[in-house]
Chains A and B, each alone.
Chain A
Amino acid sequence: MRQTNLIRNIWLGVENLLLHKLRSFLTMLGVVFGVGSVVAMLSVGEGASQEALEQIRKLGSNNIILSSVKPAEDEQASTVRSHMSIYGLTYADLERIASSFASIGQVAPVKLVRKEVRLHDRAMELRVVGTTPEWFDLVPREILAGRVILPSDRQRQAPVAVLTEFGARKILATRSAVGQMVRIGGDAFEVIGIVRSEAGQSQSMQIPDQDVDVYIPIEVARKYFGDIITRRTAGAHQRERVELHQIIVRVNDAEQVEATATGIESMLARFHGKKDYGMSVPLALLKQAEATKRTFNIVLGSIAGISLLVGGIGIMNIMLASVTERTREIGIRRAIGAKRRQIIVQFLIETVVLSTFGGLIGLGVGVLIPFLITYFSGMATVVTWNGILLPLFISMAIGIVFGLYPAMNAARVDPIIALRHE
């Protein structure tokens, strides 16, 4: 009986709201926009943060990435003709780091050179990455053909090269290119494998942009190309001596990542006269990103809260007017025998129906907006269950909170006076 009563009450509320369609619709708009903006903002925020977290995870959450950075004073010095700037991570750093920390599992050095890569008569300048087999463990890629660099290649100082998918495409190499010879800066290398390209985006993370690289054993890179890079710019030679461009360190235990990072930092500080290196810790970035997300959610929540508050006040305003307008109806119902509580329930349900319906429409709008954003701008958006249920729940709660006062007003109506009310 109670349940059918509730359904009849809801239906009664819907009927009353349908009597004034435009008014009900306008009243709902506040909640529609409130809920719509909450859902949309939450999904855009969620999408952005998931994208950021995904990027960071790709770097390996247990990794520490050290990079060579040209110090600021060298920038000025290098304008002097033929000056050679020497900076960055060294082979000695690599040795020290690898041997000093028990917490470190694997270490991979990276040496970068830009060289012309030629297959038959097709040539492109690609980035050549001199590294060790560990690199492929630390930055996993799918092998499309052949194999990656093996420890034996290092020992033999074999002139072998692994191409990325896109890199291979640039020089018109296909999978059948495995076993063929390419020329890198004039020297012959055997193509031993092709790995999948990782969509670049990682520049900001100071990892080699993994799009169009050629991987060769680091010993070979050092032997063939040396440590000195000459860049010809308008009228000047820029010469730099950089031993290693990056060192990627994997820490075994996530708990130890920050302590190890601090240790490496102080070790580098002791051996480097100037700050010619940078360090990025994906785990720290991850934590930071999560903290940012929390702040973001609080800010969004407040904005949404204000817009929902405004919507709720709008509903309350209209309901108060409606109660005054329907004083007579309330009086009739009371005279017939409706209890105060039943009048409260009637008006409360009307408000909740209004706000919940507004919430549902807002939800539709709020889900559509992220969809359009993704469709037109390619920005990732994620609509989560929380992002749907929370605003819906809040819109219902708004109906109750802002409907209570008008409903109490309705129940306070004195039937004798109300019936005389013309």
Chain B
Amino acid sequence: MAAKTPSHGNRDIVRLENARKIYQMGTEEVRALAGVSVSFEKGSFWAIMGPSGSGKSTMMNVLGCLDRLSSGAYYLDGKDVSQLDDDSLSELRLSYLGFIFQSFNLIPQLSVQRNIELPLYYLGWDAVRSAQRAKELAEIVGLGGRLNHRPTELSGGQMQRVAIARALTNDPQIVFADEPTGNLDSATGEQIMELLDNLNKQGKTIIMVTHEPDIAAHAKSRLHMMDGLIDRIETETHETDQPHQEYLARR
């Protein structure tokens, strides 16, 4: 279907080609992704927007290697990952991706430090190095003194900082943020967004799902979804070559 593939494929960190995801809900077929082709550049900051049911969560799950496409292709850093098995996808999440969630998703019985260390545990780091790394990251997100607290003893903003630290532990290529400010007041939300802005400035690719325009404004590019398809793309970059418009035009 794709008449031509983008010539600058190497700079794309993620690329979907005619991606479809179809769920069976009882007798009804839900087309969460109805043939999406899009690519995000390395180091970009995207906000995926759209009403609920538009497919933005599915998009995020697919890009985050948590879910597999029904058909189509997904290239992560130039490699087709759409046919990989569960273990390989886990491996990818472990070494390439970081996640931040609306409800923080910290493990309540573990201390802040142990939560931050969690990916290192699965990466097989030893305890001393892990502790050192956790300390560094806690400093970066401004939680230096709270390493031994339990998540339940923290405020929402602090919990989200822990989650960001955890997402950065494995030095990921892409950080996924699913409504990162959804459970926070606007002031705290701003602080969290500043952290994400900084990460992006340091070169991390950030893909964020949100329905709040204020929050989405932090992103350099915004992708609006509707009924499993891309509705429109806004971008602040002033590059002459606009591959996204190309995909948009194809709709």
Residues of A participating in the B interface, judged by any CB pair closer than 8 Å: 1, 4-5, 8, 15-16, 19, 328-329, 331-342, 415-416, 419, 422
With an 8 A cutoff between CB atoms, is B94 at the interface?
A: yes
A334 to B61, CA, bound (A): 13
Q: Which of B90, B101, B103, B109 contacts A337 (CB 8 A)?
A: B90
Q: Which of B61, B122, B166 contacts A416 (CB 8 A)?
A: B61
A331 to B64, CA, bound (A): 14
| A332 x B105 contact (CB < 8 A) | yes
| B127 x A8 contact (CB < 8 A) | yes
Task: Give the chain A neighbours of B103 by CB distance below 8 A.
Answer: 422
| A336 x B87 contact (CB < 8 A) | no
Task: Give the chain B neighbours of A342 by CB distance below 8 A.
Answer: 122
With an 8 A cutoff between CB atoms, is B204 at the interface?
A: no
Task: Give the chain B neighbours of A334 by CB distance below 8 A.
Answer: 90
Closest to B108 in A: A329
| A338 x B122 contact (CB < 8 A) | yes
23 contacts between A and B (CB under 8 A): A5-B124, A8-B121, A8-B127, A15-B109, A19-B109, A328-B105, A332-B106, A332-B107, A333-B118, A333-B122, A334-B90, A335-B64, A336-B93, A336-B94, A336-B119, A336-B122, A336-B166, A337-B93, A337-B170, A338-B94, A340-B87, A341-B87, A416-B61
Closest to B118 in A: A336
Task: Give the chain B neighbours of A416 by CB distance below 8 A.
Answer: 61, 66-67
With an 8 A cutoff between CB atoms, is B231 at the interface?
A: no
With an 8 A cutoff between CB atoms, is B194 at the interface?
A: no
With an 8 A cutoff between CB atoms, is B95 at the interface?
A: yes
Task: Give the chain B neighbours of A335 by CB distance below 8 A.
Answer: 64, 66, 93, 99, 105
A398 to B115, CA, bound (A): 31
With an 8 A cutoff between CB atoms, is B91 at the interface?
A: yes
Within 8 A of A (CB), among B62-112: 64, 66-67, 86-87, 90-95, 97, 99, 101, 103, 105-107, 109
| B127 x A337 contact (CB < 8 A) | no
Q: Which of A1, A4, A16, A337 contacts B91 (CB 8 A)?
A: A337
Q: Which of A4, A331, A333, A340 contacts B86 (CB 8 A)?
A: A340
| B109 x A336 contact (CB < 8 A) | no
A328 to B127, CA, bound (A): 25
Closest to A4 in B: B126
Within 8 A of A (CB), among B168-183: 170
Top 10 closest A-B pairs, CB basis? Answer: A337-B94, A337-B93, A339-B90, A332-B105, A336-B119, A329-B107, A339-B87, A337-B90, A338-B122, A19-B109
Q: Of residues A15, A19, A329, A336, which shows the largest number of chain B Cβ atoms within 10 Å of its Cβ?
A: A336
Shortest C-beta distance, B114 to chain A (Å), equals 9
Task: Give the chain B neighbours of A337 by CB distance below 8 A.
Answer: 90-95, 97, 119, 122-123, 170
Task: Give the chain A neighbours of B86 by CB distance below 8 A.
Answer: 339-340
Beyond A333-B107, A335-B105, 5 additional contacts (C-beta under 8 Å) are: A4-B127, A332-B118, A336-B119, A339-B86, A340-B90
Closest to A342 in B: B122
| A419 x B121 contact (CB < 8 A) | no
Closest to A341 in B: B87
Task: Give the chain B neighbours of A331 by CB distance below 8 A.
Answer: 105
Shortest C-beta distance, A407 to chain B (Å), equals 16
Shortest C-beta distance, A63 to chain B (Å), equals 68
Task: Give the chain A neighbours of B91 by CB distance below 8 A.
Answer: 337, 339
Shortest C-beta distance, A411 to chain B (Å), equals 10
A23 to B92, CA, bound (A): 37
Closest to A333 in B: B118
Shortest C-beta distance, A54 to chain B (Å), equals 55
Decide: A415 near B119, CB < 8 A? Known: A328-B105, A334-B90, A340-B87. no
Closest to A331 in B: B105
Task: Give the chain A neighbours of B126 by CB distance below 8 A.
Answer: 4
Shortest C-beta distance, A334 to chain B (Å), equals 7
| B109 x A338 contact (CB < 8 A) | no
Within 8 A of A (CB), among B21-78: 61, 64, 66-67
Task: Give the chain A neighbours of B122 by CB distance below 8 A.
Answer: 333, 336-339, 342
